[in-house]
A and B are shown apart, each in its own frame.
Chain A
Amino acid sequence: MIRRRFFQHENARDSVPRAVDEELEFHLSTRVDALVAQGWNSEEARREAERQFGNVDGVRGSCIDLDHERVRTNNRMNLLHELAQDFHYAWRLLQRNWAFASAVIIMLSLGIGSNTAIFTFVNAVLLRPLPVANAKRLLAIGDPSQVSSMSRGDPITQLISVPMYRALRTDSVLGPELLASGLAPRLSVRATEGQVDVEHPRARIVSGNYFHVLGVRAALGRTFDAREDGNGSISPVVVLSDAYWTRRFNRDANVVGRTIVINGTGFTVVGVAPEEFFGEIVGQPQDFWLPLATQPILSPAQPLLESADASWLLLLQRVPSGLTLSQAQSSLTTRIRVWIHDHNTDTNAKTSEVVISSGERGFSRTRKEMAAPLAVLMAGVGLLLLLVCANVANLLLARGVARGREMSVRLALGARRGRLVRQLVTESSLLAVGGALGGILVAWGGIRLIIAMEPNAGPSSIDFSLDPIVLLFAAVVAIVSVVFFGLIPALRASQVNLATAMRGTIGWERGRRGVPGIGRIGLNQALVAGQVALSLVLIVSAGLLSRDLRKLETAETGIDQAHLLTVDLDADGAGYHDKRLAVLAETMRRETSSQSGVKSVSYSESGLFSGRSMQVTVSVPGFVTKNGEDINAGFDAVGPNYVKTIGARIIVGRDIDEHDVAESERVVLINESLARVFFAGRTALGATIKNGNSELRIVGVIADIKDNALSAPPMPRFYVPYLQNASSTPRNLIVLVKSTELGDPGKIGPLMRSTVKRVDGSIEVAGIASVAVRMERSLSGERSLMRLALALGGLALLLAAIGLYGVMSYAVSRRTNEIGLRMALGADRSAVLRMVFGDAMRLVLLGVAIGMPACLALTRLLGSQLHGVGAIDPVSLIGAVVVLCASAALAALSPAVRASRVAPMRAIGM
């Protein structure tokens, strides 16, 4: 103790020289005394003393230096010692209060874990660059979200045709480092001999320089080179992905040189891509890559290499050094505009914007789809973390008050305030470290749970590993939480008033003017009100999302999906193209119609809710485009009785029928939206629309239907007869079967399988599903968002209730005396109950009042995710308030009852 004091005494910089001076002065004056006693006169004695001492100033200087050194080392040692002490003390304290500690750590784990989990998704989908060399220097040409689309008709700027790609590649400024990638047609593959089942892997058709431009080297064999750009002879070769090589070939090193049969043609395996390379499309890892030149081999019915009217490629340009990205971008934009201008049959497309963006993160449909929901979720988990921090702060505050005596005793014994604050922050840091570790566990488990729960919703193929960026994020979140929840109570606790604390009460929690009830709103009450506000926001969001989902599920689709079945046939794989495919379609329709239990049969290329959609540009005489984008329309090729089979409504005109064949007049059905956009006010029936080079006469207008997404707004759409499809030869066949209400829907599936087998045994049934099920599935993204929001809302509610419970029971226990006195003075139990409840409700209402404006502001963010309900939905709002109040009442129940059971005499009678 003395030693410690001594060191503290020396802390100040100027105390060291003073101490040395005092010490040396003592020596010299003692010597002088001794000499004087021997008979020296005092002046000479002083000189003699200094002579005996030697170089006084030199010794003084080196002593001061030595002392400074010692003080520095000592301070450092003391700090380390104190830190170790703090940790030891904090650890023992938490061990003794393990219930408190584990409650805090569990809450922190949930808060940090949920943030880390959602951030992992954000990182994987939105932030991580492509696993290729120097991805920063890549420019993406085309709409990055249109990875599986194709457009027929006039050139557009979202996708590129092969001739346009060839023209762009000859640019003298940008050089030839421009790759192209397009969706491969449906592939039927036998990878190994003797493989019975044909499989349908995912592949991209890419230009010969694809791997070269990306800077990806083969892990085995070679990648594509100039040979594959196919000048003259076409070599059917394929590069496998690591995953496919593993799955199909068991990582056999001898795979190079083997032949796999793709759509009836043998392709030689020339190499395997490295393990981390999944392609240029985030969320859609490929099984293999095929050269662009082999496209006509893969789909002989639809060769695209020379057709300027088929836009289906996305491009990545590696910008040469010496050129900035924006220079390259403007150069490409000009080239594309010029090319479109030269190759356009119509003037419409010119105005639409050329889409060029950074290629660093590749292409992705998922990115566009998930960006908004992830932003919503990120905001949600952020709010949850705030709630957790508020709750933990509250717990620490309550404990800080309970420890007020301890603090004041230590202060009185001379402990520095800074030291006490450090002690409390050490405790918080220990909790935060526990919370961060728990959070990483929660995140790890949570991600797996989410993926397992909704295998269709999330792109499970995205790499969700907890990479350093994610861990760093978790650490930062933990540190922020410590600052937020640890420091406030620490400062608060170190400010306890010595005098009042010693008397056993704490100054700040007592009503200043003796106001009954809670009195002055304390920090912990304010925190509870804040929690109520935060959870209100989360509950309202969950309510909005679930009500929106409910609306979507029950939304008017325009079709009668009951007893409606889609049967997806792999006719292409069985060699049915062109006329033969049309004959097959008609055969299937006739064969199925005659079956018992079947009410109506039709077929189409895209089916319903199949995920397939086709788009073309349309022109109508007398219609002028406003922005170059309103010339797009969806379309489908459909069989006879299509409208009747799917149960859509004909507004005017007729359905497609058996007489709409190749030899008869080209006709078309349009939907209401198309009529409204292109024929605003004019009569559509009997008029013609132009698609490419063919003129189609409108024979019917039908009501808008939802055909692929329940959440998408209706868009202009037209239907051409499957048997006279002019714009592109149908390649796909999906049979639509409407069964009678009386028949057993379970029987239709096997019935269809046997029918297909009877017509042609080599045709595979790729899938049979009821439209209702497909609709349900199409909402899986919305459903998982809603579930996550519900989970967040539930957690928020629980946390707010716990917070309220804590504050109320604490208040009751502190006010036992007062309550006892009131009861002794005649207040009855119900009055006490009312009082405690009233206090709780006042806090809740205060929170609601704070939360309302926050709700209105934050749910705006949800706007993009809402389709059926408005962002200001009174039902969700009132519902949330009711739920909150009910939980608050429940949380306050036990403290209130405890208060009403206070025995008056015990409470006041010591």
Chain B
Amino acid sequence: MLGSDGAMLRGTLDVLILKALCWGPRHGYAIAEWVKTITETEILVEEGPLYTALHRLERDGWLIAEWGVSENNRKAKFYSLSKSGKRQLVSETSAWARYAKAVSKALSASTPLGVNA
């Protein structure tokens, strides 16, 4: 989902990050790669904002960070979901589903006025 300037609607990146971490701890590079792959590079134009989002989510207590060693044997910061982060992911997922359903229903409407029940 792209805005006119290619920026994402706020919150989209957050929920993607949460989703990226639902299989276990990952560092920032891996999250970026996952987002790129899964959205076929549609969403993540720049990687920088991802890090801002990661640090914001950490501040808000949804993510827990730990230092560890990466696959290429470098010191890397690994993020994982906290309890509240997991809860957040569940509620965001269902909210997104409802939102998407409503928007697509609206966009596929064929009459200018709402139908009276």
Contacts and interface: CB of A to CB of B under 8 A. Distances in A.
Classify chain B: how many residues form its interface, as a range: 20 to 34
Of the listed residues A20, A27, A62, A67, the one surrounded by the most CB atoms of chain B closer than 10 A to its CB is A27
A2 interface: yes
A31 interface: yes
B77 A59 contact: no
Classify chain A: how many residues form its interface, as a range: 20 to 34
Interface stretch (A47-55, A187-195, A307-315, A869-877): A47-55
Contacts of B27: 26-27
Contacts, number: 70
A69 interface: yes
A632 B91 CA distance: 97
Nearest to A33: B72
B28 interface: yes
B72 A53 contact: no
A30 B28 CA distance: 11
A23 interface: yes
B114 interface: no
Contact of B48 (A3, A20, A59): A59
A25 to B, nearest CB: 9
Contacts of A30: 29, 70, 72, 74
Nearest to B64: A3
Interface string B70-104: 10101111000000000000000000000000000
Given A26-B77, A27-B47, A59 B59 contact: no
B46 interface: yes
Contacts of B72: 30, 33
A54 B46 contact: yes
B66 A54 contact: no
B31 to A, nearest CB: 10
B66 A31 contact: no
A54 B47 contact: yes
Given A22-B75, A22-B77, A26-B76, A62 B52 contact: yes
Interface string B13-47: 00000000000000111001000000000000011
B4 to A, nearest CB: 18
A58 to B, nearest CB: 7
B46 A52 contact: yes
A interface SS class = helix
Interface in A19-66: 19-20, 22-24, 26-27, 29-31, 33, 52-56, 58-59, 62-63, 66
A59 B46 CA distance: 11
Contacts of A73: 59
A2 B29 contact: no
B interface SS class = mixed
A67 B74 CA distance: 22
Nearest to B28: A27
Contacts of B47: 27, 52-54
Interface string B52-70: 1001101100001111001
Contact of B77 (A2, A23, A55, A56): A23
B66 A2 contact: yes
A26 B74 contact: yes
Given A53-B46, A66-B59, A24 B51 contact: yes
Contact of A19 (B48, B49, B51, B77): B77
B43 to A, nearest CB: 14
B59 A70 contact: yes
Contacts of B70: 26, 30
Given A53-B47, A54-B48, A58-B48, A67 B59 contact: yes
A302 to B, nearest CB: 88
A66 B58 contact: yes
Contacts of A53: 46-48
B76 A23 contact: yes
Nearest to A27: B29
Given A19-B77, A26-B77, A66-B59, A31 B29 contact: yes
Contacts of B67: 6
Interface in A547-601: none
Contacts of A63: 51-52, 55
A595 B72 CA distance: 127
A283 to B, nearest CB: 64
B66 A23 contact: no
A66 B52 contact: yes
Contacts of B56: 66
B29 A66 contact: no
A56 B48 contact: yes
Nearest to A70: B59
A27 B74 contact: no
B66 A6 contact: yes
Given A26-B77, A52-B47, A70-B59, A59 B28 contact: no
A54 B8 CA distance: 15
Interface string A8-24: 00000000000110111
A29 B74 CA distance: 10
B35 to A, nearest CB: 13
A58 B47 CA distance: 12
User: Which 8 A-B residue pairings sit nearest by Cβ, starting from the closest?
Assistant: A54-B46, A54-B48, A59-B48, A70-B59, A66-B55, A63-B55, A23-B77, A53-B47
18 contacts: A6-B67, A23-B51, A26-B28, A26-B74, A26-B76, A27-B28, A30-B29, A30-B70, A30-B74, A52-B47, A54-B46, A54-B48, A55-B46, A59-B49, A66-B56, A66-B59, A67-B55, A70-B58
Interface of A: 2-3, 6, 19-20, 22-24, 26-27, 29-31, 33, 52-56, 58-59, 62-63, 66-67, 69-70, 73
Interface of B: 27-29, 32, 46-49, 51-52, 55-56, 58-59, 64-67, 70, 72, 74-77
Given A19-B77, A26-B76, A55-B46, 5 more contacts: A29-B74, A54-B47, A59-B49, A59-B51, A66-B52
